[in-house]
C-alpha cells in the first residue's frame, strides 16, 4: 500500500502539470473577455489598451509559463517568507494577480476559504449524518413506509435544483416568517454568544439547501450498496454464527457497503472547497464558489486558473485517499 501511495503521488505531479496546461488552454480559448462588463461608453481602442495592460497581448505559451512561474515558484517562496521570516532575493516577486481586483489571487482565496468551509463543509457533514442512517434503514427495511418516504424525499431533494429551493426558503423564512436573514453578512465577527447565534441563523438556509441536495444523493448510493450486501453469503454466515443482528448490520454489512459511498464523498470533498456556486450566489456568501463564478463572468484568467488548479489538486488527492480507503474497507483489494 505504501509503495502504491508513493507511486501514485509521483504520477500525480506530471498529471497535475498536464491538467494545469489543459485548463489554461480552455480558459484562453473561451470567448469571454475581461472588458465585457465595462460600460459600453468606453470605446474599443481604450478596451484594446486595457487588454494590453493586462498582458493579454503576449503569446499563449509565454502567459502559461509566466503563470507557472508565479504559482509554482513565487507563491511558495512567498509563503515561506511569511511563515518563517526568511528572505529570498529582494522579495520583489510577481505574484499571481487577479485582473479584476489587481490583488494577489492567493490572498483572495485565503480570505474566502473560511466561509466556504463553514457553510459548505457544514452542509456536507449534515448531509452525511442524515444520509447514512437513512440509507441503512431504508435498505434494511426495504419497501417499508420509511423506505418509500425516504425515496420520495431524496428524489424530490435531488430533482429540485438549488436555485429553486434557495429562493423558496428565502420567501418562506425571510419574507413571510422573517426568521432568517436572506443575505449573508460577511462582516460579522463571531466573538460572543449573540454573534454566534447570528452566525448560526445566517448559515441555516444555505446549509439546509445544500444538505438536502447532497443527502439525497448519498442516501441513494448508501441504500443501493447496503441492499447488495445484505443478501451476501457472509451475512448469512455471520447470522448463523449467532452474532447480534445489530453487529451484523452495522459492522459487517455497513463496512462492506461503504465503498461507493466513500467514492461519492471523496468526489464531494473537493467540491466543499470548490464551494457551491449557485447557493453561495443566492445567499451572497463570500465563498470560493462565488469567487469562481465572478472570475468566470469577468474572464479573470489568473484567478480562475489558480482556483481551478487548486481544485484539481484536491480532486487528485482525495481520489487517492479513496483508493487507499478501499483497501482498508476491503482487504482483498490490492493494487500492487
Q: For residues 44-63, which are near other proteins according to CB under 8 A?
A: 44-54
Residue 82 binding other proteins, by CB under 8 A: no
Is 164 near other proteins (CB under 8 A)?
A: yes
**From the CB of residue 237, how many other CB atoms can be counted at a distance below 10 Å?**
12
Any idea of the CA torsion for 200, 202, 204, 206, to the nearest 10 degrees? Answer: -140
3 makes contact with other proteins (CB under 8 A): no
Burial level of 139, CB count in 10 A (0-12/13-18/19+)? buried
Smallest separation, CB 34 to other proteins (Å): 7
- Show the DSSP H helices in the chain as ranges: 2-29, 44-53, 60-68, 75-84, 105-116, 122-140, 145-159, 162-169, 193-230, 233-240, 245-247, 254-274, 277-283, 288-297, 301-329
* 248-307: contacts with other proteins (CB under 8 A): 259-260, 262-264, 266-267, 270, 281-282, 284, 286, 290-294, 296-299, 304
Question: Is position 189 an interface residue for other proteins (rule: CB under 8 A)?
Answer: no
Measure the CA–CA gap between 225 and 222, rounded to whole angstroms: 5
Instruction: Write out the three cell numbers for 42.
Output: 468606453
Nearer to other proteins, 101 or 243 (CB): 101
Per CB under 8 A, 32 contacts other proteins:
yes
Comparison of 44 and 85: residue with beta carbon closer to other proteins:
44
Q: Does 80 bind other proteins (CB under 8 A)?
A: no
Report how many residues bind other proteins under the rule CB under 8 A.
115
Beta carbon of residue 244, minimum distance to other proteins (angstroms, whole number):
23
- Three-state DSSP at 284 gives coil
Is 319 an interacting residue with respect to other proteins (CB under 8 A)?
yes
Least distance to other proteins, CB of residue 183, Å: 6
From 63-71, 72-80, 221-229, 242-250, give the range in contact with other proteins by CB under 8 A.
221-229
Amino acid at each position: 500500500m505504501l509503495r502504491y501511495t508513493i507511486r501514485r503521488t509521483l504520477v500525480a505531479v506530471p498529471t497535475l502539470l498536464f491538467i494545469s496546461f489543459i485548463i489554461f488552454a480552455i480558459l484562453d480559448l473561451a470567448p469571454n473577455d475581461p472588458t465585457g462588463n465595462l460600460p459600453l461608453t468606453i470605446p474599443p481602442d481604450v478596451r484594446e489598451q486595457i487588454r494590453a495592460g493586462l498582458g493579454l497581448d503576449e503569446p499563449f505559451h509565454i502567459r502559461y509559463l509566466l503563470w507557472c512561474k508565479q504559482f509554482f515558484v513565487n507563491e511558495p517562496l512567498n509563503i515561506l517568507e511569511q511563515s518563517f521570516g526568511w528572505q529570498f532575493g529582494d522579495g520583489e516577486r510577481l505574484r499571481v494577480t487577479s485582473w479584476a481586483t489587481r490583488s494577489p489571487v492567493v490572498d483572495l482565496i485565503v480570505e474566502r476559504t473560511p466561509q466556504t468551509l463553514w457553510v459548505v463543509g457544514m452542509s456536507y457533514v449534515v448531509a452525511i449524518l442524515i444520509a447514512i442512517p437513512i440509507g441503512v434503514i431504508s435498505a434494511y427495511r426495504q419497501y417499508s413506509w420509511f423506505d418509500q418516504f425516504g425515496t420520495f424525499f431524496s428524489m424530490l431533494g435531488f430533482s429540485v435544483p438549488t436555485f429553486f429551493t434557495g429562493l423558496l426558503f428565502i420567501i418562506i423564512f425571510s419574507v413571510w416568517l422573517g426568521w432568517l436573514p436572506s443575505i449573508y453578512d460577511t462582516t460579522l465577527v463571531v466573538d460572543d454568544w449573540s454573534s454566534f447565534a447570528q452566525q448560526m441563523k445566517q448559515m441555516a438556509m444555505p446549509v439546509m439547501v445544500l444538505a438536502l441536495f447532497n443527502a439525497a444523493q448519498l442516501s441513494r448510493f448508501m441504500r443501493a450498496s447496503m441492499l447488495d450486501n445484505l443478501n451476501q453469503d457472509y451475512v448469512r454466515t455471520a447470522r448463523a454464527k449467532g452474532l447480534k443482528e445489530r453487529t451484523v448490520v452495522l459492522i459487517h454489512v455497513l463496512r462492506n457497503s461503504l465503498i461507493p459511498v466513500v467514492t461519492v464523498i471523496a468526489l464531494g470533498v473537493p467540491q466543499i472547497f470548490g464551494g457551491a456556486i449557485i447557493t453561495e450566489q443566492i445567499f451572497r456568501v463570500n465563498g470560493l464558489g462565488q469567487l469562481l463564478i465572478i472570475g468566470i463572468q469577468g474572464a479573470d484568467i489568473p484567478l480562475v486558473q489558480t482556483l481551478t488548479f487548486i481544485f484539481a489538486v484536491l480532486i487528485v488527492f482525495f481520489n487517492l485517499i479513496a483508493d487507499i480507503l478501499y483497501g482498508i474497507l476491503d482487504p482483498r483489494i490490492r493494487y500492487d
